[in-house]
Amino acid sequence: MAQADASAPPPAWSFLATGFWNMPRHEGSYGSGIFTADHGSLHLEARVNYEAIHAQSAFIGWSFSGGETVQYKITPIVGFVAGSAHGPIVGAEASLAISKFDYYIEAEYLPGTGSTTPYTYAWSELGYRPLPWLRLGLVAQRTRIYGGDREFQRGGLLQLTFGKVTGSVYCFNPASQDQVVIAAVSLAF
């Protein structure tokens, strides 16, 4: 068993800030955001208007990753949501990448307390990167913020990455009256 070098510096922090502009076809548009901080396997995350409009959440998690040809990362998270939805919340974020293909899923369960009813939320992406700066794919989600009578929403995604900035467009339910478009900008630092 190899011993860690006590003089080696600890892993550096990495941060990601993402802003979303959500545009449901028959409802008011609104912004939401996610901020993550990672230090080695430690994962911290804060969200606003994500689980519900006028709700804020915070999470702590621990990441497990590995692989060369097939790369994976799994991060169980626990946290708390406050505001229009409130209570403890548990979930997981996971990704898998093989060559130019990748898959990402995040799921969380809010058991519900008081006026908040129990709910399971999910977001998943299947992506293909033909060029280092271009990612195309399919996206699906289960949310109760919008969507009319649809429990699940499906659609496409387009991402462009330039340096540490990624712009994304997601189009859910493209041929329906319940269409939702989300534009996002991420900054890694």
Q: Residue 55 — pLDDT band, cuts 50, 70, 90?
A: very high
Better-scored residue on pLDDT, 113 or 176: 176
Is 4's pLDDT higher than 80? no
Which of 63, 60, 127, 66 has its CA nearest to residue 99? 127
Per domain, the residue ranges of the chain are: 14-188
Whether residue 189 is predicted with pLDDT greater than 80 in this model: the reply is yes
Record the tokens describing residue 71, joined without a space: 């790369």
Q: How many whole angstroms separate alpha carbon 157 and alpha carbon 166?
A: 13
pLDDT above 70 (res 29): yes
Q: Which two tokens stand for residue 160?
A: 């462009």
pTM: 0.89
Q: Please compute the mean of the pLDDT values over residues 11-39 and round it to a whole number.
A: 94
* Contact status, residue 184 vs residue 168, Cβ threshold 8 Å: yes
Fold (CATH) for 14-188: Porin (2.40.160)
Could you count the other beta carbons within 10 Å of the beta carbon of residue 22?
22
127 CB neighbour count, 10 Å cutoff: 18
Q: Helix H segments across 132-186?
A: none
Q: What is the pLDDT of residues 102-113, one digit of tens each?
A: 999 999 999 877
Report the alpha-carbon distance of residue 18 to residue 32 in Å, rounded. Answer: 9
pLDDT confidence tier of residue 97, bands split at 50, 70 and 90: very high
Q: Please identify which residue in the block is written with the tokens 């230090």.
A: 39
Query: Tell me, what's the pLDDT at 115?
Result: 66
pLDDT digits (tens, 9 = 90+) for 43-53: 999 999 998 89
Where is pLDDT greater, at 6 or 13? 13
- What's residue 143's pLDDT? 84
